[in-house]
Structure 1
């Protein structure tokens, strides 16, 4: 079924000109009415509180790339360079959990989020973005990670799920390809890998993704200064949100009505001339939409 076309209710605005080297990891906290996000290469976790614009940051001694709230305990589940960890921003306590690929020394974890069962899905990738060593892991409530898909991608991004949770979408960023899989909700297993959408050269590279309450996919474009919204069945582009900087990395719906789209960006790999022309590179953006997002799933552990 073709989805209706959403509309923008405002122009995108930079709400935090953070100058992040590699902004990523968006997660909206309904309880705190705040957006968590990260700067992967500067090893920092950020929080933007919507009501008063308060900005908070926490420093780590390694990369931090994806964030989810915990369902039954205070604090967050986060991916660090080698695996999953628990972090409580209120106390600063950090507990490292499973590191599932010790043999892949050149890898780090990248994008990830939780499914509706509270399992944390996270992709690994080559730190240099060259070697085809990326894989997709499922971290269960006990913190143990299982390699579900040995992707062979140099850079992984996503995942996100269809509205009925029966399809998972996952990105082979370097090859500009988004794949769809049949997703078994109970067991958390994948099958039926197939191509879903391929970017053209002018569209950059597919980065982070999210799914709205109508099942439409919203995708960040690295290198193309935009976010696009797509029909989940046909992959038809329904809307394009233009941003004032090239490297758009991740996105999440938030706000009291889940209709504000928060978008991260990066300064990484921009030349001096590009940085001069793009003063908001690495900033956190927000745009009001007619679409409604879905509450972020929480980690069951």
Structure 2
């Protein structure tokens, strides 16, 4: 009887760990978290679901690797970019099955990869930024396409301890850009809500989520406003990557906090804490045939364990928005 009782307690604790608590209404929303097979990444980031091919693309930033999760085969493929040590983000280029916009240091490059080979290579450079000495320790970080397939990409200092030299750019054409937000510490977490006419953005070291009025016609932003503040979690817990669902709720990865927070940007309330079995949660994206699977990337960058993986979260009862790919015509190529 004692053994059975202890077993019930353990099972109860495990179940509790994988149940999100809807704090405002004090009710529970069950969900399941499962690791993707062979998905280890030292610094996993940038999940992007490609609707056309039913693939999830990700990066291992400091290894210079691209990863592809084949949904139908339940299998991950990866490639090392030849002669490169960084890959900050990966977004398919619209109309191609083997070309991707990838952040590499100060560049955004077109990388050619067949999705299977273990190596891939830069085909051409699309954009170079921050070439002056002031920015020599910067690199590209997070990036997303808006509903019109325009590319927005931000930078950060590689050592993460310096000043606010990061920026957010909107790519306008080949090797040309608009500077949208400057003096950032770690440009992160982009999400677009076309219905609400909002762009959401995270500067991780400011511990908040900002909203901007967003013009769908020209892609410009204005009127910054704090819609969520992460407080009381310590200096090593920061908001990281982010996605949005079809109802306009945000899903912010809480790096250092083993969670993804579902946030209502209208009032800043955390509606759900999705617990992930990894301390350093880096980003999230909705995918799957019905866009109702939340894919989550993680890192073991500060305390390597060999167990950092990508995960899928099911049973949330939410649906994401189709992610947009890069259109080269937006670069006037």
Common fold: TM-score over 0.5: yes
Following the alignment from structure 2 to structure 1, what is the Cα–Cα distance between the partners of residues 296 and 111? 23
> Aligned to 2:246, what secondary structure does the other structure show?
coil
Partner of 1:258: 291
Q: Note if 1:28 corresponds to 2:49.
A: yes
Q: Which has the higher helix share?
A: 2
Q: CA deviation at 1:149?
A: 1.4
Shift of 1:113: 0.5
Q: Which has the larger radius of gyration?
A: 2
Give 2:310's aligned residue: 284
Q: Which residue of 1 aligns with 2:109?
A: 85
Displacement of 1:232 after TM fit?
Answer: 2.6
Confirm or deny: 8 A CA contact 1:68 1:76 kept in the other structure. Answer: yes
Are 2:142 and 1:111 equivalent residues in the alignment? yes
- Structure 2: 5+ residue runs without aligned partners? 1-23, 329-333
Match of 1:56 among 77, 83, 89: 77
Tell me the alpha carbon deviations over residues 254-273 of structure 1, each in whole angstroms, 9 at most, x when there is no partner. Answer: 11111111000001112x6x
TM-score (norm 2): 0.82
Aligned-pair CA distance for 1:120: 0.7
Distance 2:266 2:61 in 1: 32
- Conserved? CA contact 1:154–1:174, under 8 Å: yes
TM (norm. structure 1) is 0.90
The whole-number CA distance in structure 2 between the counterparts of 1:190 and 1:299 is 19
Query: Who is 2:276 aligned against?
Result: 243
Instruction: Please report how far the alpha carbon of residue 18 of structure 1 lies from its aligned counterpart in structure 2 after TM superposition.
Output: 3.5
How far apart, in 1, do the equivalents of 2:71 and 2:309 lie? Answer: 16
Equivalent residues in 2 for 1:1-301, closer than 5 Å: 10-60=31-81, 61-74=84-97, 75-90=99-114, 92-94=120-122, 95-103=124-132, 104-131=135-162, 132-142=164-174, 144-150=176-182, 152-164=183-195, 166-202=197-233, 204-270=237-303, 275=305, 280=307, 282-288=308-314, 289-301=316-328
| Alpha-carbon distance change, 255 to 9 in structure 1, aligned in 2, over 3 angstroms | farther
Q: Distance in 2 between matches of 1:173 and 1:115?
A: 21
- Counterpart-to-counterpart distance in 2, 1:85 and 1:242: 35
Tell which deviates more after alignment, 229-238 or 22-31: 229-238
What CA RMSD, in Å, does the superposition of the two structures yield over aligned residues?
2.2
* Counterpart Cα distance in 1 of 2:289 and 2:203: 33
Higher relative contact order (CA closer than 8 Å, sequence separation 6+) = 1
Counting matched residue pairs gives 291
Gaps of 5+ in 1: none
Which range is displaced more, 75-84 or 114-123?
A: 75-84
Contact 1:212-1:291 at 8 Å conserved across structures: yes
SS in 2 for 1:125: strand
The 1-side partners of 2:196 and 2:175 are apart by: 22
